[in-house]
Structures are given as structure tokens and as C-alpha cells.
Amino acid sequence: MESLRIGVLGAARISDKAIVVPAQLTGHRLVAVAARDRSRAERFAADSGVERVLDSYQAVIDDPDVEAIYNPLPNGLHGPWNLRAIAAGKHVLSEKPSASNAAEARVVRDAVAASDVKFMEAFHYRYHPVIARMLEIAGSGELGELQNIDVHMSFPLADASDPRLNLALAGGATMDVGCYAIHGLRTLGAVGGGEPSVVSATAVEPAGNPGMDETMEADLVYPSGLTAQFISSFTVPEMDFTMRITGSNGEAFAHNFCVAAIDDRIDVTVDGYTRTEEMGKKSTYTYQLEAFADHIRHDAPIYTDAQDALVQAEFIDAVYSAAGLPLRPSSAI
């Protein structure tokens, strides 16, 4: 496959594992990077093998050698810069959530539909064998009649100044990690009769930061009547990225369905007997970049396109509304 020529917006912490290492492993080129602080971009380029540093995000988008943009900026800047990239005819791999709200996601979806570009929202977990196997187990009948699905997506975040706790930048536990729980539950709609809907949601707002969610809990139901819950929080003592599918005969438990390279185990317990399946430590991000490149070069199908991103954003909006919190605001460049 011809190497992708990728431009990176910003020097975000996530970029090393999300795009730099996968590009090195798969032979794709990191052509250009820009950051608000040029010296930071220069350090990032030197450490990551990016070919050149440019003066602005727009310069990266306009670079004729760049064909695809990776956007790891703060949440509130995903939508506006994704639209800039699409307008310039560049393919987009956008960190999640790829828009601040459903209205913004709809504008992005429509822009993609009116263009020749490919768009992927970076739900990397969706391309790993762990979630494929969880779907397979849930649909096999081995667990009996499905009764409930429970997903936890939480990690400790103590820095109150972190952009992930900034409402103006579309922050919140639901936006940062809860979106994975929501997407995982939406993926399991394949065994629940279709997309789930929100029954209720409860948020915990941090002191002095109204409208922000440091914890979100929600109850869902699928068209089949199968129930589900998720909890996402920044106030836990340690990472918890688990998924449990319970049926009348037993359960399937993924120790880390989201970042399987940390823990790829699935425990399947049926009639009191437990077996452990290991699905491989290859990074979810590497699977994702392979899928993105195959989508661009060969028009291979993907799970997380602009239409899926719109449905995802509508669900996130529904969770915030059910919890009595404002929708995340759109930003302008």
C-alpha cells in the first residue's frame, strides 16, 4: 500500500501512541506538524520523526504534500478544524468526540457527503479483536438470553485546569471517556435489536465548575428490552475500562475493551466454569491506522464514519439532556 502522507494538528500527548507509533509500525509518513508553541512542535517533530514543522494548523492543512489530517486538538476544536481540512480536500482522522454536539456533527457529516474526502472518528477500540469477540460471544447464544450490559470507562483526573474539565472546550467525563462507553454500547446494538436509547442519567458536577460532569451514570435500553448501564468518572482511584455482558447462562467480561494492549483478556463464565481468551496485544491504534489507510486507498468499509459520528453525537447530547446539564458548546476558529 502506498504510504499515507499525514499532517498533525498540535503536539498533543495522545499523538505518540495514537499516530506516531502506529505510523512507524505501518510505514506511513508524518509529513508536517504545527502547534501553538512552535518550539513544542519542533521538539515533537524531532522526537517523532515528523518531516517538517510549519507555523500554523492552517499551514499544515494547506501543505500540498499532506493528504490526510490527524486532529488531536481539545474537543471543542475538533469540529472547526475538521471542517477546515474537509474544505481543503484532505482526509480526516479526528480524535473523539469529533464534534462538540450533534448540530456540529451534522455540519461535518454534510461537508463530508458533499466532498470526495474520507472521514474517520478515532474510536480505535472498534477495530480490535476484543470488541469483535465480545460481539461474537454475545450473539452466539452461549450466554443464554441476554439480560444486561455494564460498561465502565473511568480514570483519575486530579488537575482542575485540565482542558478535559473545561466546558468552553467541550470537556466532561462523558465527552472524554464516556463517549467510549456509549459507542461500545451502541456497537452492541447488533445483539440488542438496534441502537439503544437513554432511560435516565445522573451527573456529578465538580465544585465551582457548573455544567461540567466529573462523573456520569446512565441507564439505557435496547429495542429488544435488553438493559444496559455505563459509568464514566474522573474521580476513581485507578483506570477502569471494563465491559460485562450478562446472560441467563453466564457472562463475558472484557478486562479492558477500550485499550486492549494493556489487557486483552476476556473471561467467559458459563454454568460456573470460566475460561480466559487472550485476543492479542497489538495496539488498537495500529489497527485503527491500518483501517483508515485501507479506507482511503481501497475504499474499504469502516465502522466510525461521519454518519456514525453524528448518531454518536446525538446520543451524547441525549445523555447530557437527561442529566440536566447543558450541551457542549460549539467553538469558532
Angstrom CA distances, 116 to 68, 85, 113, 134, 296, stand at 12, 12, 8, 34, 10
Do the beta carbons of residue 158 and residue 261 sit within 8 Å?
no
Do the beta carbons of residue 226 and residue 193 sit within 8 Å?
yes
Which 8-state DSSP code applies to residue 179? H
Angstrom CA distances, 242 to 14, 83, 260, 270, 301, stand at 21, 33, 10, 19, 27
Encode burial over 170-194: b for 16+ CB neighbours within 10 A, e otherwise.
Answer: bbbbbbbbbbbbbbbbbbbbebbee
Query: Which 3 state secondary structure label does DSSP give 112?
Result: helix
Active-site residue identified among 17, 96, 118, 281: 96
Query: How many CB atoms sit inside 10 A of residue 223's CB?
Result: 12
Do the beta carbons of residue 321 and residue 216 sit within 8 Å?
no
Annotation says 118 is catalytic: no
Q: What is the amino acid identity at position 304?
A: T
Give catalytic residues, as residue numbers.
96
